[in-house]
């Protein structure tokens, strides 16, 4: 069974940093591209970042470019999102999602990041 479990969320002050993790199991993690998608409280879904299976292609939404860094460790079946210079508007539930042929076929349960002083 495919499982994606995010962790690392919490309360952080504006300007601070946080590192999210996504632990994958039930599939060959190194064979799939992955995405981060976020959802602000009571709002819709916003794509954040994409990383391909070999980490040779990484894309970011304009809203996080230069502040967030996506990486992965295929040996440890893990995906990461390093978030720096956090702003109030980064407050959201962050989901990792597996990519397959132009779709996001499996999603984690999400981890909540709250940016507030």
Partner 1 sequence: DVVMTQSPLSLPVTLGQPASISCRSSQSLVYTNGDTYLNWFQQRPGQSPRRLIYKVSNRDSGVPDRFSGSGSGTDFTLRISRVEAEDVGVYYCMQATHWPLTFGGGTKVEIK
- Contacting positions for partner 1 (CB under 8 A): 35, 37, 44-47, 50, 59, 61, 95, 101-110
Determine contact, residues 48/37, Cβ cutoff 8 Å: yes
- 32 alpha carbon, distance to own chain's centre: 15
Taking the complex as a whole, how short is the minimal distance between the CB of residue 96 and partner 1, in angstroms? 10
Beta-bridge partners for 79: 22, 72
Taking the complex as a whole, how short is the minimal distance between the CB of residue 84 and partner 1, in angstroms? 20
Determine contact, residues 50/64, Cβ cutoff 8 Å: no
Taking the complex as a whole, how short is the minimal distance between the CB of residue 37 and partner 1, in angstroms? 8
Between 55 and 109, whose beta carbon lies closer to partner 1? 109
């Amino acid at each position: 069974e495919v499982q994606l479990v995010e962790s690392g969320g919490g309360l952080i002050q504006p300007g601070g940093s946080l590192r999210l993790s996504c632990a994958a199991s039930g599939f060959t993690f190194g064979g799939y591209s992955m995405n981060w998608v976020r959802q602000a409280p009571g709002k819709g879904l916003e794509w954040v970042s994409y990383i391909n299976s070999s980490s040779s292609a990484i894309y970011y939404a304009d809203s996080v470019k230069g502040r967030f860094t996506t990486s992965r460790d295929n040996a440890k079946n893990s995906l990461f999102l390093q978030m720096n210079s956090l702003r109030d508007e980064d407050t959201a539930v962050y989901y990792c999602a597996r990519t397959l042929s132009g779709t996001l076929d499996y999603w984690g349960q999400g981890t909540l990041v709250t940016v507030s002083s």
